[in-house]
């Protein structure tokens, strides 16, 4: 898979961290983003987080809709679009 692809108007980067000795994947980050009107929306899935200065397994999901102020209905429609389009792709990539 190329390092950056387009997914229905969203761009994504799929980053894997590999063990230098075995080549085994030990962590990953999948980052979807799109630029709209000079603002960035992003959705990110991380397999690890930092606790007490150490990387520990902790799959978690980030969502940031940073586009300019919107009415409630438009914001809700965009959030549903993110969920409907991005989450299935995350399942496929991490599956």
Indicate whether 1 pLDDT > 50.
no
Sign of CA dihedral 15, 30, 61, 42: positive
pLDDT one-digit tens code per residue, 2-16: 446 666 677 877 777
Please state, in angstroms and rounded to a whole number, the distance separating the CA atoms of residues 40 and 50: 25
Q: Is 88 contained in some domain?
A: no
Domain ranges, residue 22: 11-28+38-64
Contacts of 33 (CB under 8 A, 6+ apart): 10, 11, 12, 40, 41, 42, 43
Is the model's pTM score more than 0.85? no
Residue 22 in domain: yes
Per-residue pLDDT at 93: 64
pLDDT digits (tens, 9 = 90+) for 43-72: 888 888 888 888 888 888 787 877 666 677
Position 19 in a domain: yes
**Tens-digit pLDDT profile for residues 19-28:** 888 988 888 8
Site of tokens 């962590």: 27
Number of domains in the chain: 1
Residue 57 has phi, psi (to 5 degrees) of: -60, 130
Do the domain assignments include residue 45? yes
């Amino acid at each position: 898979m190329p390092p950056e692809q387009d997914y229905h108007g969203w761009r994504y980067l799929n980053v894997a961290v590999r063990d230098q000795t075995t080549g085994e994947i030990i962590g990953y980050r999948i980052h979807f983003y799109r630029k709209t009107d000079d603002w960035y929306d992003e959705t990110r899935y991380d397999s690890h987080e930092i606790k007490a200065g150490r990387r520990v397994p902790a799959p978690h999901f980030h969502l940031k809709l940073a586009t300019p102020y919107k009415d409630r209905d438009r914001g809700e429609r965009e959030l549903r679009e993110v969920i409907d389009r991005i989450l299935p792709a995350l399942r496929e990539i991490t599956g």
